[in-house]
Structure 1
């Protein structure tokens, strides 16, 4: 055994994989002085590769639902990437753990061990730290360690179907010590999934408040596109979520998930509607994002304006927030939200 309780054989494997990753990332002669890290992320955010977001790698299955077992299964995804998966089906709670582990590893050189106590990990996940939560966490860590993906992208590959054992484990190596802490490593090849800024930031506090699994699945999808208006076919969403039930049940669950996101202002004006060609389209408006200095146009206006604004003035401000492509219902809904915030500000001032 050596540092942090990691066997010599494990550290040798980590060093070898780090060297291989450096070669894939364009270094002709890997150097021990070269260090690769994941992109940085703010404290209240988590990040995930867009190529993992737009697949059913993590599915919104219900608690108690039987998990499927996969062996080199091709997962539903967009046409520019193929993802092959081996392991037990993963759910949104598994995604939460994966997001948190990636967050914990962000300041560490990839391939180096990261240590975190079970108690702190459960606390970050919003769990109560009861006995069942500890058992659940241990099962989840085991699933993520067994979970193996092979990625074939237009610009890169991770692993190969001819040698599935060379695929990327979501947790490369891990150990749990006698103090109840995990020491884990991420395969340096995971950095390839975050190349060319192909990743999205996910609001962690909102995620912990979401009530539905479909809402949790949709949240990263919303974050993965900067478009104001998002449109997807119902069939695509059903396939990407690996939903096995009836279409009408899926629509009911989908509407509940969208309402979950609308409560948190992750989306505005979600609709599920049948078009003239018979295809069912799911659409929503993405609310205004913050500017580089963290201030939306509406925040700048409202902080400098008097307490009373006309409907037209609020609509104009809302339009600047949402952009020229936003539909009228979305603009009106956001204007109503701004009106409520303005009213609350007035109450606080007079109070």
Structure 2
């Protein structure tokens, strides 16, 4: 009887562990045939984003209000990434929507019509289905459609819009969204990052903290960065003095949200340099191990 009671007492714990394992597994379903262009099949709890989007000012940490319209402007980005952008400036809220669109599209062929309701997209973003949120979603999808980028990341370049087509079926109330198949080139090996969605969602309303979380998530082993460099890369239009004051608060928010969801993140600002330490994700640990195993070339 005691064994039975002990087993019954452990059922909630066993169910919780099973749920955690299930959430970490990729969604059911097999990749499409090899001749079909498809995004990688990442697990449900994460959102996969090309590193060029996370290591640049494309989706900036910009203040609310009227957006600047730019034409062919080269955006700040880390070495090895080059982005020229035409359109209204994009922010972290736009990235939330785009991540949700990518998440919905990943199970089907790129270039085909993805039908998804406003309710489903808002649910993916952790938003309630209200008239205000639907109106904001419409505005952001329009902004994602009405742009053009020329981007070089690694060996490949991409020229096109972030969204090829977007329209709404008024009968079914579904969005019909089409993405350019050439986007697949930005998802090569070691060219994209799986962002922990629970951490990003907890930072909702804190654009600089969201940008910093994505930026550092894209690095397996972050290197010290100048405060001025981070200001330029995040696309903020704030003055350097004011930015220094908000940077610490934003990094604190990232550290707290990361700790709350089991991610390791700590930082220290020494003079003009920001030092960050984090626990690498599974794929990043494999990348570091692979990099360490490569024989080093002798110095000349």
TM-score bracket, shorter-length normalisation: 0.7 to 0.9
Question: Offset of 1:83 from its aligned partner?
Answer: 0.6
Highest RCO, 1 vs 2 (Cα 8 Å, sep ≥ 6): 2
User: Where do residues 1-351 of structure 1 align in structure 2 (5 Å cutoff)?
Assistant: 34-64=35-65, 66-153=66-153, 155-159=155-159, 168-178=160-170, 179-211=172-204, 212-227=206-221, 229-264=222-257, 265=259, 266=263, 268-274=265-271, 280-287=272-279, 289=281
- Structure 1: runs of 5+ lacking an equivalent: 1-31, 160-167, 275-279, 293-351
Task: Verify the 8 A CA contact 1:76 1:240 in the aligned structure 2.
Answer: yes
Matched pairs, number: 246
Question: Offset of 1:60 from its aligned partner?
Answer: 1.2
Task: Verify the 8 A CA contact 1:230 1:286 in the aligned structure 2.
Answer: no
Give the alignment's TM-score, normalised by structure 2: 0.77
Question: Offset of 1:285 from its aligned partner?
Answer: 0.8
Task: Verify the 8 A CA contact 1:267 1:284 in the aligned structure 2.
Answer: no
Task: Verify the 8 A CA contact 1:175 1:182 in the aligned structure 2.
Answer: yes
- SS of alignment partner, residue 106 of structure 2: coil
Task: Verify the 8 A CA contact 1:83 1:149 in the aligned structure 2.
Answer: yes
- SS of alignment partner, residue 189 of structure 2: helix
Question: Offset of 1:154 from its aligned partner?
Answer: 5.4
Question: Offset of 1:103 from its aligned partner?
Answer: 0.8
Question: Offset of 1:269 from its aligned partner?
Answer: 3.0
Instruction: Tell me: CA distance 1:109–1:154, structure 2 relative to 1, closer, same or farther (3 Å).
Output: closer
Question: Offset of 1:150 from its aligned partner?
Answer: 0.5
Q: Distance in 1 between matches of 2:266 and 2:142?
A: 39
Question: Offset of 1:230 from its aligned partner?
Answer: 3.6
Task: Verify the 8 A CA contact 2:266 2:278 in the aligned structure 1.
Answer: no
Instruction: Tell me: CA distance 1:189–1:291, structure 2 relative to 1, closer, same or farther (3 Å).
Output: closer
Task: Verify the 8 A CA contact 1:174 1:183 in the aligned structure 2.
Answer: yes
